[in-house]
Chain A
């Protein structure tokens, strides 16, 4: 029996812009177990990113409760939240958010810099291992502007992994990538999930959502429905069927 790792109760987020109030989340209730692989879907503006930012402790809700790994997130101060992000969460952004002019290795080392227990030597070892696990060991000393979008996203995933988080959160991780690269990224997420890490992604593409275990559909700041994926696709197998030059053929 898997444990509940994320528990959300009646989560509300209201953005205030002067007099105008935007109700981005209108009461979300959700439980996620530690072996789950969830895709959050829904129309643009339905509140997916807002929800993910709160899950990632990058933003705070207006109302509601959020327990992460049995910690009441709402009761934490800023420094404790930073600690939580460092230890338990790996966040992957649609736009990668790598430090410019900084090598892949140094980007991946970044979370470890804020982990007082890790020595400089261990930092490098772990960062290299994380890069290896996303298949980029040979690009460790390349800068973001020397990497393709897919490679940058894999660096960002390595950065999310390096601190051994309990949950990986990815907001449209394949939004800027082509089909094949998207499947490659999903391969990594699937393998992480098989290793026991909880993965939550946001996506617009049903194809991508087919690699997850179940989908949560957002609508106007509420959860419209949750659907279990009947036949979860295996990304690695899919990759083998995809011709390497598929995109060029299509042109």
Chain B
């Protein structure tokens, strides 16, 4: 049979069995579309996590106290309070690779302003913190060394806190807020940052001078952590070494003793986060593969259900002179047409769905070529196989057996 006739026969057959054609296509469309959308969400969140992390500042180092050994007994992490304000001062003075540094204490605070109240985290830091975190001030200002020394009752707040205490869009500068019953004057408002990839609201916090939080609010003499930034990203290992040596000497650790502190760089956090999002991607990918499989089974069902009718059709065609390969070719072309059309519609639908998800749920999405190729190839392979395989079986029969098939 001429190729032209094959094409005509396939097109006629598809248009004559619209329902079957549409149902088969639907399987492919759903398979392809859902895989693309799922993987787009996975990939998108991965990329956004990485962006968040690098936006925290890639030369950031955080020093925590860690569990230390006393006669073979490892105590709970951070339970032995070994980071002090003096450690912080020493790092600032003696580590040339370090640019900015701040001690940090953190507590939670019940905020009251007028009739409103709100509960949030309170950070006690030095003004260097704003440089390390690259936090911009939208209005007002940060405190200076004088307020630091005097443990002044001033603070900088984020938008979320401001909105809850003073109403949407109100200017909080100069207002008073009681934090755990201590009155603070609000002197600054940070620029809005929104949620980070971990779903944390970065505008929901109160930042106050270190001494104020440590001495007035918490009344302790330890610090939770020290944050520093290396001069450049390349100097991170150098800064890490300097800090490690300095703190080992200051903490009088012998050569056989473990560090009683941990230095975490942003890249460590990045790799942890990357592995988290990898889990997410795998999860979404497995959901996607299930929908691909379900779509595939749908295609298979339709194709197999129509076998009886199609076997008779094959019998008729062979009866009037079609060779086995003519019949197979026609069925292959039909399956190809369905799969290609369904696949292309599926791709558009997947992209559309991703866009809608991005718009409505404000989730980050990113469509990858691999996901398009993978889902497309898989669905078309299923469509073609199940369109072709029953036809091959029928084409091997005697025409009379195909005609009598029930």
> A residues within 8 Å of B by Cβ?
53, 56, 58-60, 78-79, 82-83, 85-87, 91, 93, 97-102, 106, 110-111, 113-116, 120, 159, 163
- Closest B residue to A115 by CB, please name it: B321
Can you list, as one digit per residue, whether each of B295-316 has a CB less than 8 Å from chain A (1) or not (0)?
0000000000000010011011
Can you list, as one digit per residue, whether each of B315-334 has a CB less than 8 Å from chain A (1) or not (0)?
11111111111100000000
CB distance from A142 to the nearest CB of B (A): 14
Q: When A102-B16, A106-B12 are in contact, do A82 and B318 touch as well, CB less than 8 Å?
A: yes
Interface residues of B in 5-44 (CB under 8 A from A): 5, 8-9, 12, 16-17
Interface of B is mostly: helix
Which 5 pairs between the two chains have the least Cβ-Cβ distance?
Answer: A86-B321, A111-B320, A58-B400, A101-B16, A114-B321
Q: Which among B9, B312, B322 is the interface contact of A82 at CB below 8 angstroms?
A: B322
CB of B398 within 8 Å of the partner chain: yes
Q: When A79-B324, A83-B321, A163-B321 are in contact, do A113 and B9 touch as well, CB less than 8 Å?
A: yes
Chosen A-B contacts, 22 in total, with CB atoms closer than 8 Å, are: A56-B319, A58-B403, A79-B323, A82-B321, A83-B323, A85-B318, A97-B315, A97-B316, A97-B319, A99-B313, A99-B316, A101-B17, A102-B12, A102-B16, A106-B12, A110-B317, A113-B8, A113-B9, A114-B1, A114-B322, A116-B1, A159-B320
A116 touches B399 (CB 8 A): no
Q: What 14 additional pairs, Cβ within 8 angstroms, besides A59-B399, A97-B312, A114-B323?
A: A78-B323, A85-B318, A97-B316, A97-B319, A98-B316, A100-B309, A102-B16, A110-B316, A110-B320, A113-B322, A114-B321, A114-B322, A120-B4, A120-B8
- Closest A residue to B316 by CB, please name it: A97
CB of B252 within 8 Å of the partner chain: no
B320 touches A114 (CB 8 A): yes
- Closest A residue to B313 by CB, please name it: A99
Q: Report the separation of the CA atoms of residues A85 and B326 in the bound assembly, to the nearest whole angstrom.
A: 14
CB of B74 within 8 Å of the partner chain: no
- Closest A residue to B401 by CB, please name it: A59
A85 touches B321 (CB 8 A): yes
Q: Find chain B residues with CB under 8 A from A116 CB.
A: 1-2
- Closest A residue to B330 by CB, please name it: A113
Q: Report the separation of the CA atoms of residues A111 and B399 in the bound assembly, to the nearest whole angstrom.
A: 14
A53 touches B400 (CB 8 A): yes
